Amino acid sequence: MEEVLVDKRPYGESTVTQVVGTTQLFEGGQMRRVPMPTPDPKDPLNLPMWRKWAAIITLALFGALALSAEAIIGALVPIFVLEYAGIDPKILGSIDLSALNFSTPGGKPEDPIQLLSSLGGPPISKVDLLSTLPILVNGVASYILVPLSIAWGRRPILLLAGVLAWSGGLWAGFSQSLNSHIAARVFQGFGAGAVEALIPLILQDMLFINERNKAFSLISAGQGLFIVSIGLTSPLIIVKLSWRWIYYITAGTGILVWIGMIFLVPETRWIRSREELAGKEVYPIRPGENRPRLDYAKYGYRSNKDDFGVFVVKTEWKLCRKSVMETIKATFFPNVLWVIALNSIFVGSLSATTQNAAAIILGLKLSFNQLGFVVLPIVAATPFVWLFGGYLADKISNYRAKRNNGQREPESHLISLAFPLIAGIVGPLLFGYAGDHTEERPLVYLLVGFFLIGFGGLTMNTLVSVYLVESYPNYAGPVLVTMSSFRLIAGFLISFKSADWILSLGFLKTFGIYSGIMALFSLMLPVVYMYGKRMRLWSAGQLETSSEDSDDARSMKSLELDNKAWSSEDA
């Protein structure tokens, strides 16, 4: 974990107010390294850039595969409704949907969800569990995977999660009943839970704070690669082969990516001193340089064990227990609660959209082969996720830091939230309108609404993840666990009955509720932006010392570093 503390001396007072999360990113017009790397070649911050990006891209592929699987499987809910109603989904390839009469006796177009519910299979809400239950399991997984990664190291837990993800996919492909299928998706979802908190934790281990936005956004944006290649071809795969082959393909790809993680993602857990975490010059730095030179004579070279070993670091059960307690504490931080609320409604809205978009397309009497259009909006959104959540967000944050005497405030990331929040409000309304007006063939409303929901949700998740890690660097693991777990659990609760709500209220009212809740929480953005620093002081604690005190006396503990660890390292 990482701790960033900045000294603030207002009006020449002799006390120093230390604000957790504020960093002196620029000094003398030059960008500083925060946290400060050590001269040890084994330090993950000292990995060459090609090595870091090889790990980042591999993690992005793993994360994108897991996230895209959720979108693709969610879009296939109507296929599973047919399967478990005793109807071979391949029949859709030989039916002219445009010739079918989907109208009610009164001439009004049949509600697509009502149409599916009349096929005589299990309740649609149970079939929807194939899409929604993995979301719940993702949230629970973070509570287990992150503390274990603090105890044993990131690498063994990451590789274990990968095994669970691809083996769960194979199980789903070979399943012979709905219950077995759901159980397999739970297994798969637990492994995919690494995407939510563990992967961001690994990224912050080996990247400086000014490098994180691009890497975090790549995880979200990268899923377009798999969605476009599998999602668009899924109707053809179903008709020519079987829906099971979608699992075989994603699981097989997952195995290849997992092998890539073995060779390209090293262990990144690293215990740092208080001064290093604050970005101070602990080791000699030559003029004109911003980091110490590597000392191979003193620390030696990286070995094969450092690069490819599984259990590389010392087991730290004390830190594991501490992280669990701090996760509970982080749950009550006011800005964390706000982020959870925003993220939850986005997860619920995106999940409900994914589950029901295919039903609308079938209700529009389009060709079954056009079912793949459901995932096109997510594909179109991915480059914008990287642009707004990565490149532009970095530019805005660094620009604000330069205008703030070199100090970078985490709240600068909230400026970039404006467009994603607007998209998250408008998107569900357009989608709901499309669902209630299928007689108008509103494909444009459907796709644009889905695009806005996908862009808003994925971009916002990237931005708030970076915001929380920077706001509470000494609680990086706990705040990531808290955010990812609660947003997924809450997102599950507000989406797993979406089909039933649509049957009762209609599309527009159901998705209008999502938009209304999002608008309500979005109104708090200016408040968090203006008072976020005070929230950090209140929630993380405030420490004041004499201006003559040593730097050591003005430091707070990092999540992964207790007093005993500091003493042993200094020795």
Specify the pLDDT at position 434.
87
The angle at the Cα of 230, spanning 388 to 196, to the nearest 5 degrees, equals: 50
Residue 484 included in any domain: yes
Take residue 122 and report the two structure tokens written for it: 């299990």
CB 469 within 8 A of CB 479: yes
How many CA within 13 A on the CB side of residue 297?
A: 1
pLDDT digits (tens), the chain, 571 positions: 343 344 444 434 444 455 777 777 787 778 888 888 889 999 999 999 999 999 999 998 898 887 777 767 777 888 888 889 888 877 766 665 544 444 545 544 455 666 666 777 788 888 888 888 888 888 888 889 999 999 999 999 999 999 999 999 999 999 999 999 999 999 998 988 887 788 988 998 999 888 888 888 887 777 666 666 676 677 778 888 888 998 999 899 999 999 999 999 999 998 876 567 667 777 888 877 778 888 899 988 999 998 999 999 999 999 899 889 988 888 889 999 999 999 999 888 888 887 777 777 766 666 666 666 666 787 788 888 888 988 898 889 888 988 888 888 889 999 999 999 999 999 999 999 988 887 776 778 888 998 899 899 889 988 998 899 888 877 888 888 888 888 888 888 888 788 788 888 888 999 999 999 999 999 999 999 999 888 988 887 653 443 433 333 333 333 333 334 334 444 4
Residue 335's domain is classified under what CATH number?
1.20.1250.20
State the pTM of this model: 0.79
Give the C-alpha separation, 71 to 131, whole Å.
8
**Beta pairing class for 407-408 and 543-546:** unpaired
Among 563, 81, 50, 559, CA closest to 325:
559
441: left (phi over 0), alpha (psi -120 to 50) or beta: left
Residue 389 included in any domain: yes
Helix axis angle for 129-152 and 154-174, nearest 10°, is 160
Specify the pLDDT at position 12.
40
Give the C-alpha separation, 501 to 511, whole Å.
10
Specify the pLDDT at position 125.
81
The type of residue at 51 is R
Residue 554 included in any domain: no
Specify the pLDDT at position 369.
64
The domain of 310 spans 5-549
Into how many domains does the chain fold? Answer: 1
CB 414 within 8 A of CB 528: yes
Look-up of token digits 């870091």: 52
Q: How long a stretch of residues is the chain?
A: 571
